Amino acid sequence: MITIALAEQTDIRSISNMAYIIWPDAYGDILSKDQIDFMLEKSYSIEGLAESMVNGQFFYILKEEGVAQGFVALKTFENKLRIEKLYLMPHVQGKGFGKAMIDFAAEKAHAKGKGILELNVNRYNPAYHFYLKQGFFVTDTLDTPYYDYVLNDYVMQKEIDKI
């Protein structure tokens, strides 16, 4: 059985630990080790995650039989809900948990009266194809300078039925 529940400050270490396992697996063939290490320190260290929470990202942890297996971070904007982060442990990918987190985010968007669910995905990330299967479509292509790196992303959106 899986559950998805709001993370508390006390869950930051668990989220950070998952990220440090997930990122090298997810991005090892896409990004340099230096960039992976930088992104982990910048966004997924205890400090980076706490800063994200303070700046309006709400983290939710997906658990299978009580064991944390992934997380999603959501942020509300005027007309949309953004998925800022969505990651699963490598050994549980393909079990339907990613779809469960997308459906969860869509329910949150619906409850908030938002008609759009949005996310960015690295253009070379195989997750791009997963998002297409979940009903997302590309709305923009970005090459965003980020410190010494460039983030090569698609902006993807999915329309949500509003209340």
* Domains, the chain, ordered by start: 2-159 (3.40.630.30)
As a whole number of angstroms, the distance between CA 139 and CA 120 comes to: 10
Q: Residue 21: what pLDDT?
A: 98
Q: Residue 65: what pLDDT?
A: 97
**Which residue is associated with the tokens 């997750």?**
127
pLDDT tens digits along 37-90: 999 999 999 999 999 999 999 999 999 999 999 999 999 999 999 999 999 999
pLDDT category, 162, cuts 50, 70, 90? low
Kindly tell me if the per-residue pLDDT of 16 is higher than 70: yes
Q: Residue 23: what pLDDT?
A: 98
88-123 as b/e, with b when 16 or more CB fall inside 10 Å? bbeebbeeebbebbbebbbebbbeeebebbbbbbbe
Q: Across residues 91-106, what is the average pLDDT?
A: 97
As a whole number of angstroms, the distance between CA 157 and CA 94 comes to: 22
Kindly tell me if the per-residue pLDDT of 163 is higher than 70: no
3-state secondary structure of 89: coil
As a whole number of angstroms, the distance between CA 155 and CA 160 comes to: 16
Q: Across residues 3-24, what is the average pLDDT?
A: 97
pLDDT category, 145, cuts 50, 70, 90? very high
As a whole number of angstroms, the distance between CA 98 and CA 45 comes to: 23
Q: Residue 161: what pLDDT?
A: 80
